[in-house]
Amino acid sequence: MTQPNGSIQLSVIVPVGLRHSELAVLHSEYQQAIEQLGYSYEFIYVLDGPMPDAAQSLDQLFRSGQKLTAIYLTRLFGESTALMAGFEQASGQIVVTLPAYEQIEAGEIGKLIAALGEADIVVGRRWPRAGGVLERARRGIFHSLVNRMTGLKMHDLGCGARAMKRQVLEEVSLYGDQHRLLPALADRQGFRAIEIDVKQSAKDRFKGGYRTREYAHRLLDVFAVFFLVRFTKKPLRFFGMVGAITLAIGTLLVLYLVGDRLFFGQALANRPALLLSSLLVVLGLQLFALGLLGELMIFTHARGMKDYQVDRIIEFPSAQQSI
């Protein structure tokens, strides 16, 4: 449905990765739910690499007269890159991202959009959530770690159903596998991020569970976002703190060895502790210097960096009146 003036209110982005359902069926479900909301909309599918079956499904939609945009990436880049490619093509004032497989009930999309009245980005939380005891424990540990590091209160960052205002995607950049941590990155820029309960699709049969390598990658992404959220503008606080602790440990160990040599006659030669203490002192100084260099770079480019959002500006008429 398109308004007479041709403007688009809602952009729906569906990144298609290795895990995807029959897109023709999924598109019909999503489209019916969107139609009921009364917005003018567009669908943008991003195929993350060569996927003949998904491409064939999109071709069927084209031949049936469906108006949508399909972006074909040359190889597998990851969901974050696919989302960024979709963001660049989107023209709506509201952007909704949806998974390319049954994850939530399509009728819940409207709840995500309605919640934008009190937030800038809304993330779905599948509830009630399927999964065994071990899977729930894994999710609980992961989200507890993320929430402690970012200050947010999220419970289902793996849900691909999100709604956001256009300004969010204009200010936030994704790379790697950071799409799951999009709310934390948006919060860092001063946007309001919330989570609401949505019904999990009865067709979602994914039981969870990942390889050890994937858990390691997620953990590294969490630490990367932790640094971006807390120390992007204050690198000296991070490197300086770590460097100061390392330097202090090395210095104390050196003083102990020197005292042991002066007062107890213990030889310093052939003592591994002397080498370790020297390395700690040098490492501490290097980390501190790295923090200083980071501070100099931030100071140099601080004028062009923006880490806040203006909620509203009020001008009182009396300010322009003469007394």
pLDDT digits (tens, 9 = 90+) for 243-292: 999 999 999 999 999 898 888 888 877 788 888 999 999 999 999 898 88
In the chain, % of residues over pLDDT 90:
53
Q: For the whole model, what pTM was predicted? A: 0.77
Q: Which of 230, 249, 270 is the last residue of a domain?
A: 230
Same domain, 197 and 177: yes
- What Å distances lie between residue 141 and 39, 127, 218, 252, CA to CA? 39, 18, 12, 36
Mean pLDDT of the region 207-213: 61
Same domain, 192 and 205: yes
**Structure confidence at residue 41 as a pLDDT band (50, 70, 90):** very high
Domain for residue 316, yes or no?
no
Residue closest to 85 by CA, chosen among 136, 93, 107, 75: 75
Same domain, 161 and 270: no
Query: For the chain, what is the mean pLDDT?
Result: 86
Same domain, 124 and 180: yes
pLDDT at 69: 95
Show the CA angle centred on residue 13, arms to residues 7 and 15, nearest 5°.
Answer: 160
Higher pLDDT, 217 or 172: 172
**Structure confidence at residue 319 as a pLDDT band (50, 70, 90):** very low
Least confident of 100-104, 122-126, 311-315: 311-315
Domain for residue 159, yes or no?
yes
The CATH number of whichever domain residue 106 belongs to comes to 3.90.550.10
Same domain, 32 and 169: yes
Least confident of 54-68, 125-139, 178-192, 271-285: 125-139
Asked if 243 and 288 touch (Cβ cutoff 8 Å), the reply is yes
Same domain, 81 and 104: yes
pLDDT at 311: 61
- Convert the pLDDT of each residue in 287-318 to its tens digit: 989 888 888 886 676 556 565 556 655 666 64
What secondary structure letter does DSSP report for 200? Answer: B
Domain for residue 197, yes or no?
yes
Residue 4 predicted with pLDDT over 50: no
Same domain, 44 and 190: yes
Q: Which of 206, 230, 254 is the last residue of a domain?
A: 230
Q: Which of 230, 253, 280 is the last residue of a domain?
A: 230
Q: How many separate domains does the chain show?
A: 2
Query: What is the rounded distance in angstroms from the CA atom of residue 198 to the CA atom of residue 154?
Result: 14
Residue closest to 92 by CA, chosen among 195, 6, 14: 6
Amino acid at 256: Y
- What Å distances lie between residue 122 and 136, 170, 191, 194, 307, CA to CA? 22, 16, 11, 5, 20
Residue closest to 186 by CA, chosen among 58, 65, 309: 309
Same domain, 200 and 239: no
Cis peptide before 50 (omega within 30 of 0): no
Same domain, 114 and 204: yes
Domain for residue 321, yes or no?
no
Domain for residue 2, yes or no?
no
Domain for residue 210, yes or no?
yes
Query: What is the rounded distance in angstroms from the CA atom of residue 162 to the CA atom of residue 179?
Result: 11
**Structure confidence at residue 8 as a pLDDT band (50, 70, 90):** very high
The parent domain of residue 257 ranges over 235-304
Residue 6 predicted with pLDDT over 80: no
Same domain, 130 and 208: yes
pLDDT at 274: 85
Mean pLDDT of the region 206-213: 61
pLDDT at 167: 93
pLDDT at 303: 57
Domain for residue 216, yes or no?
yes
pLDDT at 315: 63
Least confident of 147-151, 191-195, 266-270: 266-270
Domain for residue 249, yes or no?
yes
Mean pLDDT of the region 132-141: 82
Same domain, 83 and 199: yes
Neighbours of 308 (CB within 10 A): 7
Same domain, 247 and 203: no
Asked if 182 and 194 touch (Cβ cutoff 8 Å), the reply is no
The dihedral built from the CA positions of residue 310, 311, 317 and 322, taken in this order, carries a sign that is: negative
Higher pLDDT, 64 or 300: 64
User: H helices of 151-234, where?
Assistant: 166-171, 182-188, 212-231
